[in-house]
């Protein structure tokens, strides 16, 4: 994941935020690419957690993942929490694990209150993220879906673009900049 780089869509999203056109990013990705592209960490809601840190399963203390991996290489055994000795786990959601309550609640609140909800590069089949565009639409938001393939929400969307996220978001950003420039 260290080698993964933000793509044109991540960069366009960060630029929209800097222009004041975007309130938050709700993501299922665990790769931190939105923040690396320039999005404010406070505006990124990571529904499935992040692979950039680990936490103790006993006491909840958080650790930088790279430092834990260095310890693993040095000690040749799974590192334990330095506070309580408990096992460490990446802060990502594993299969069967409950979704993070705070992040999920905030994402639903933001979805309920927004005036425009843009889905970018999601098949909209994994819950709870798949229901957030529905929540936004039911509360009066416009819905735009940008995805290569059809999604279950296409029929309720105001605009559907079956195309790649990067080039589409770059074109959208260029249009918004031209409109803003007058």
Q: What is the DSSP string of 111-137?
A: HHH-SEEEEES--S-STTGGGHHHHHH
CATH of domain 8-24+101-181: 3.40.50.1220
- Selecting among 10, 34, 48, 162, the annotated active-site residue is 48
Using the predicted structure, report yes or no on whether residue 100 has a pLDDT greater than 80. yes
| Residue 142: CB atoms within 10 Å | 14
Alpha-helix runs per DSSP H in the chain: 8-18, 33-37, 65-75, 101-113, 132-138, 165-181
Average pLDDT of the chain is 93
Residue 34 annotated in active site: no
Using the predicted structure, report yes or no on whether residue 120 has a pLDDT greater than 80. yes
For the domain made up of 50-92, give the CATH fold: SIR2/SIRT2 'Small Domain' (3.30.1600)
Using the predicted structure, report yes or no on whether residue 1 has a pLDDT greater than 60. no
Residue with tokens 């079956």: 162
Span 14-52, pLDDT tens digits:
999 999 999 999 999 999 999 999 999 999 999 998 888
Q: Write down how long the chain is.
A: 182
Taking the domains of the chain in order of start, what are their residue ranges?
Answer: 8-24+101-181, 50-92
Using the predicted structure, report yes or no on whether residue 2 has a pLDDT greater than 70. no
pTM (2 d.p.):
0.85
């Amino acid at each position: 994941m260290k080698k993964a780089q933000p793509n044109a869509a991540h960069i366009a999203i960060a630029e929209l935020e800097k222009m004041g056109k975007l309130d938050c990013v709700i993501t299922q990705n665990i790769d931190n690419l939105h923040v690396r592209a320039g999005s404010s960490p406070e505006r990124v809601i990571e529904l499935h957690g992040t692979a950039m840190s680990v936490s103790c399963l006993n006491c909840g203390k958080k650790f930088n993942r790279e430092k834990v991996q260095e310890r693993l290489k040095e000690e040749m055994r799974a590192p334990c929490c330095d506070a309580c000795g408990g096992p460490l786990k990446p802060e990502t959601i594993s299969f069967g694990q409950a979704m993070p309550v705070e992040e999920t609640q905030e994402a639903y609140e933001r979805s309920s209150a927004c005036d425009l909800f843009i889905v970018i590069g999601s098949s909209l089949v994994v819950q709870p993220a798949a229901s957030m565009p529905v929540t936004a639409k039911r509360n009066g938001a416009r819905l735009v879906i940008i995805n290569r393939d059809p999604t279950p929400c296409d029929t309720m969307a105001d605009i559907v673009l079956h195309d790649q996220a990067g080039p589409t978001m770059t074109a959208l950003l260029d249009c918004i900049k031209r409109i803003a420039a007058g």
